[in-house]
């Protein structure tokens, strides 16, 4: 394990990797839950293996272990530092779980680039309850939304782990913090592209970090060439509008696309149009239709099976194109979420009466 000479962890410096690992052993025994997760990863990072085992988020299926090269993670850390201009002595806040790739990569970036890493529990209050200022913070969307009033303490904010709502993106227009949303997955060792959300450089398009090139497969899904990350192309299930080899606009996931009467409907775009109309958790999906093949349905978190108790009614859909309007509303008393805060769509759909289970 290589430790940059400028690296600090919660204000402490370490003369050697062995010193850091000795401190890690203490954390494993005496630390809080988030500190034990940090210690567990540092132990794995410092062992003799050339890889680590990470776990996918489980948003589109059962979480699964993935073997990631340590060299690829170091490469990813360097490209992030280059893309966001974050060098040695960057003051960074880790408020994500070290059990998942986003948290792990914050640690690798700090070790590799010589950051001063402050580690706190992964809570909504991670930024608001401390007075410290940071050059760089990574958060999930819910944390970022909760922290809007405290962002004056942050130079650069990276949001990942879920879709950025229109509400959050609009709120970010009023802050000086440079805010980005990331595109990536566990298999690509965190992000391979970034989209600026605010300021003069704001864009609807993602731009790749250094060394990454893009193409489309026969389905219209994104294919990622990242030699520093993977020896083979990474084929995704993400439908995109490819602007160039290094730039794209994300449309949605092919496994979510609804074919209604021959018209392709992207649930994520319908959700974006509806989010200002609904103040309860929801998502858009499909169910079989004898005439159209599939029809659009809306699933909301509601105590009543038709969503009425949450104020959901069909008039909300008047602004949508005809084929995009949900034909039925389902209410589910309590949504299920992954460990990283994403709705478990397939699990919820499988619980709905008369809805066919997905394999």
pLDDT in tens, 151-187: 999 999 999 988 898 999 999 999 999 999 999 988 8
Please say if the pLDDT value at position 356 is more than 60. Answer: no
pLDDT, residue 312, reads 85
Confirm or reject CATH 3.40.50.12780 for domain 8-209, answering yes or no: yes
CATH 3.40.50.12780 domain range(s) in the chain: 8-209
The pTM of this model reads: 0.86
Phi and psi, residue 216, nearest 5°: -115, 150
Angle between helical axes of 17-30 and 33-45 (0-180°, round to 10):
150
DSSP string covering 162-182: SPPPHHHHHHHTT--SEEEEE
Most confident of 106-110, 260-264, 275-279, 350-354: 106-110
Per-residue pLDDT tens for 31-65? 999 999 999 999 999 999 999 998 876 555 566 78
Q: What is the CATH number of domain 258-351?
A: 3.30.300.30
Per-residue pLDDT tens for 223-241? 999 999 999 999 999 999 9
pLDDT, residue 187, reads 87
Neighbours of 34 (CB within 10 A): 21
CATH 3.30.300.30 domain range(s) in the chain: 258-351
Q: What is the mean pLDDT of the chain?
A: 91
pLDDT, residue 358, reads 42
């Amino acid at each position: 394990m290589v430790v940059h000479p400028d690296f600090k962890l919660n204000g402490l410096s370490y003369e050697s990797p062995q010193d850091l690992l000795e401190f890690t052993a203490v954390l494993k025994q005496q630390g809080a839950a988030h500190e034990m997760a940090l210690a567990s990863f540092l132990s794995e990072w410092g062992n003799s293996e050339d890889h680590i085992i990470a776990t996918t988020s489980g948003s589109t299926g059962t979480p699964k272990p993935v073997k990631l090269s340590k060299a690829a993670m170091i490469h990813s850390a360097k490209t992030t530092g280059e893309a966001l201009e974050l060098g040695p002595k960057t003051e960074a806040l880790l408020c994500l779980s070290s059990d998942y790739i986003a948290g792990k990569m914050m640690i690798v970036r700090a070790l590799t680039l010589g950051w001063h890493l402050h580690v706190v529990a992964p809570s909504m209050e991670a930024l608001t309850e401390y007075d410290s200022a940071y050059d760089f913070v990574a958060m999930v969307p819910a944390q970022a939304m909760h922290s809007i009033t405290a962002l004056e303490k942050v130079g650069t904010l990276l949001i990942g782990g879920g879709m950025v709502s229109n509400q959050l993106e609009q709120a970010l227009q009023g802050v000086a913090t440079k805010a980005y949303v990331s595109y990536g997955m566990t298999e690509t060792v965190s992000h391979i592209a970034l989209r600026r959300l605010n300021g003069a450089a704001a864009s609807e398009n993602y731009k790749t970090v250094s060394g990454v090139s893009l193409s489309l497969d026969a389905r219209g899904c994104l294919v990622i060439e990242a030699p520093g990350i993977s020896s083979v192309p990474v084929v995704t299930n993400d439908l995109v509008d490819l602007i160039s080899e290094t730039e794209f606009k994300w449309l949605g996931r092919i496994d979510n696309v609804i074919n209604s009467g021959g018209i392709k409907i992207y649930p994520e775009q319908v959700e974006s149009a509806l989010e200002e109309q609904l103040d309860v958790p929801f998502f858009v999906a499909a169910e079989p239709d004898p005439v159209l093949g599939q029809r659009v349905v809306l699933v909301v978190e509601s105590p009543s099976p038709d969503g009425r108790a949450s104020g959901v009614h069909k008039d909300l859909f008047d602004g949508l194109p005809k084929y995009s309007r949900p034909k039925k509303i389902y209410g589910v008393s309590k949504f299920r979420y992954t460990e990283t805060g994403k709705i478990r769509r397939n699990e919820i759909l499988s619980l709905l009466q008369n809805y066919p289970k997905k394999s």
